Structure 1
Amino acid sequence: MSATTLTSPLRRALPGPRGLVWTVLRLHRTALWIWTGFVVVTAGLLLWLYGPGAAHTQHLLDTFGYAGVQHDAWAVGIPDFPFSSPYNDLFYTPALLLDVASFTVAVFAGGSLIARELENGTARLAWTQSVTPARWLAAKLAVPALFITVGTGLLVALYRMLWSAHSNLLLAGIGPRALYFSLGPGTVAAPLLGLAVGALAGLVLRRTLPALAVAGIAQSAVIAFRANSWPFQGSYQQPELSVRSRAITSTGAEIPDPDCAYSHACLARHHVVGFTRTYLPSPDYWPRQLLETGVLLAAAAILVAVAFGVLRRTSTS
């Protein structure tokens, strides 16, 4: 078979932007289906938590005498109540899945999306078919960026809807505050940064395994930093949100918290059967959300610019 026969389909596919987009979609269709499946499954879990899961948990709370517990839109439930714990645990699962997705995007970008094509020579073949290296990289980044933005944007919107409707079913503690601060545009920006991290790693290292390893380590550091550093709200966010705690007696009355949640004798003495924990929203929530998003997107833009610079030098060498 001649070289002309081998390259003619590629030549027909690559002359314009549409051809580039179609080529990227065809080449990485397995990754696209995996991403679509992830979004569908995670969205299904969120909708189950919003509907049947919440209804079942609320029924158990009502049945066992906790129907009188009052809370506002930011309240989170009853410590150590056994029927709320499974729902509480599942509530945080989508947040974990979004972190995993952010990590996976970086690994995919570093390995399959960029480095593999440089390693096996496919990229240089494309550059000989009237496709400039810059257009090649632009298509490689733009197509997954679109799917990442739409998918994570949908999941964050569903998560915020779930939080607004059923955060009262969560057990009290630091977790609800950390989750609340993670439900913003920064959660959409993080995997876009992962895409940029992976692309740069792939272009610099030009070998699949080293590139995906470096991209995964770098994105893991980003995820850890977001979870534990101001203004990226997480387990140790500062300043702390205001907290109002009230105890619920066996008659359903609210009394000041006797501060003895872990002493059964103290709880019995005060006839306490449950608690409310109300976390009020921080007044600077949105400024901090926008600051986080701006930092992540700015970092992604810088890495993309560096990636194009690296590509320009390597493609002419």
Structure 2
Amino acid sequence: MSTPTARGTAWVTLRQHRTALWTALFLLIAASVVMTGVRWWEAAASDRAFCLDVTRSERCGTGPWGHSSAMEMLRLTGMHGSAALLLVPLLAAAFVAGPLIAREFQSGTWRLALTQSVTPVRWFTTKLAVAAVVVFCGTAALVLAYRVAWDPVAGTHDLGWPDRGVFEATGPVLVAYGLLAVAVGGLVGPLIRRTLPAMSAAGLVTGTVMLVLGSLRWQWIPVKTLTGPFPSDPLRLAPEAFLVESGFLTADGGRLPHDACWQRTHDLGDCPADLDITGRFADYHPYAHYWQTQLVETGIVLVLAAVAAYAAFRIFRHRHA
């Protein structure tokens, strides 16, 4: 009897929130179509690009449907899309905590489910399992669609791989934040038991975690350092490198900020002798650190999600088992 009961509870959950699920599915399809459509437009425009010989000089077509227009639209899609995807975990946490769980307690309808030979823990587990599957599949699909649109404009203004939003939207860390959101919602909902306060609290907790981890992520992997003599040409990093800090080296091994000379002479190449500058340095993250940081942060977020889920079940069992 346990298997049919579990399936029935899951079916009731899906049917109860079918409007929200259909809306989420529509938005998912629309976002995927927009991102892949703009990417297809850019690829097609690139293939059709041609140059007209005008007075012995070549001018490439840049009309409203040309390649440059497609690239600009792709860049805007990448910028606004990455910002929008940051909201997905917040919305997931708010929905799980509020309409999915807290509203059941607030209205008392959760007791009706228990009359169908379903234990409180089984009811709660099914709710979170359904939410976790939906959020996992949805965020994974969005990440794949975003990467399709982002690849041609990677590294342009505000679309570098370490930029906030782009980093989350292009890797598994966004999926991990989605699962964390489900766990946080499952923890907050039964504690607060009122829809709107639970939604606000769950969104705030999830957003705070995302903000804190995002500010710390580039400290988990040690930076690489490039050095060179002074005076000489400025240090040259690979175009895809993420510069963390740069400046001058002194004879005693100390470091000075990159504007140390400018503050004294208003000339970056003219440094006073008393500064005793002997070289330059640049601390940076190569692109190889992208996946390392993604995996480290994903692991941290999944651990936090597991802790939140464990706490949610312990509290729920203590109150309702």
- Asked if these proteins are the same fold (TM beyond 0.5), I'd say yes
1:21 Cα deviation from its structure 2 partner: 1.0
CA distance, structure 2, for counterparts of residue 161 and residue 105 of structure 1? 24
Deviations 1:198-251 (A, max 9, x none): 121111111112111111111221332344321499xxx984894339xxxxxx
CA distance, structure 2, for counterparts of residue 177 and residue 60 of structure 1? 31
2:303 is the counterpart of 1:298: yes
2:144 is the counterpart of 1:160: no
1:59 Cα deviation from its structure 2 partner: 7.1
Tell me what 1:287 maps to: 292
CA distance, structure 1, for counterparts of residue 83 and residue 166 of structure 2? 14
Tell me what 2:239 maps to: 244
2:104 is the counterpart of 1:99: no
2:170 is the counterpart of 1:181: no
Identity of aligned residues (%): 34
Query: Which of the two has higher C-alpha Rg?
Result: 2
Deviations 1:6-58 (A, max 9, x none): xxxxxx9x961110111111111111111101210110111122111454489
Tell me what 2:16 maps to: 27
1:197 Cα deviation from its structure 2 partner: 1.0
CA distance, structure 1, for counterparts of residue 19 and residue 75 of structure 2? 33
Q: How does 1:31-70 map to 2 (within 5 A)?
A: 31-53=20-42, 55-56=44-45
Deviations 1:35-91 (A, max 9, x none): 101210110111122111454489789789798xxxxxxxxxxxxx99854432222
- Among 200, 203, 222, the alignment partner of 2:187 is 200
| 8 Å Cα contact 1:230/1:238 also seen in 2 | no
Higher strand fraction: Structure 1 or Structure 2? 2
Query: Which AA in structure 2 matches 1:181?
Result: F
Tell me what 1:222 maps to: 209
| 8 Å Cα contact 2:92/2:182 also seen in 1 | yes
SS in structure 2 of the partner of residue 92 of structure 1: helix
2:6 is the counterpart of 1:17: yes
Distance 1:149 1:174, change over 3 A: closer
Instruction: Give the alignment's Cα RMSD to 1 decimal.
Output: 3.5
Once the two structures are overlaid, the 10-residue window that deviates more, 86-95 or 304-313, is: 86-95
Q: Which runs of 5+ in 1 are unaligned?
A: 1-11, 68-80, 246-278
| 8 Å Cα contact 1:149/1:188 also seen in 2 | yes
Once the two structures are overlaid, the 10-residue window that deviates more, 131-140 or 177-186, is: 177-186
2:204 is the counterpart of 1:209: no
- Among 155, 171, 187, the alignment partner of 2:156 is 171
Deviations 1:127-168 (A, max 9, x none): 23311111111110111211111121122122223333x126
The count of corresponding residues between Structure 1 and Structure 2 is 254
SS in structure 1 of the partner of residue 239 of structure 2: strand
Distance 1:96 1:226, change over 3 A: farther
| 8 Å Cα contact 2:93/2:184 also seen in 1 | yes
CA distance, structure 1, for counterparts of residue 287 and residue 59 of structure 2? 28
Tell me what 1:269 maps to: none
Q: Which runs of 5+ in 2 are unaligned?
A: 61-67, 226-236, 241-283
| 8 Å Cα contact 1:185/1:289 also seen in 2 | yes
Distance 1:47 1:243, change over 3 A: same
TM-score of the pair, normalised by structure 2: 0.68
CA distance, structure 1, for counterparts of residue 100 and residue 196 of structure 2? 12
Query: Which AA in structure 2 matches 1:92?
Result: M
| 8 Å Cα contact 2:38/2:73 also seen in 1 | no
| 8 Å Cα contact 1:231/1:288 also seen in 2 | yes
Once the two structures are overlaid, the 10-residue window that deviates more, 149-158 or 174-183, is: 174-183
Query: Which AA in structure 2 matches 1:295?
Result: I
CA distance, structure 2, for counterparts of residue 302 and residue 35 of structure 1? 27
1:194 Cα deviation from its structure 2 partner: 0.9
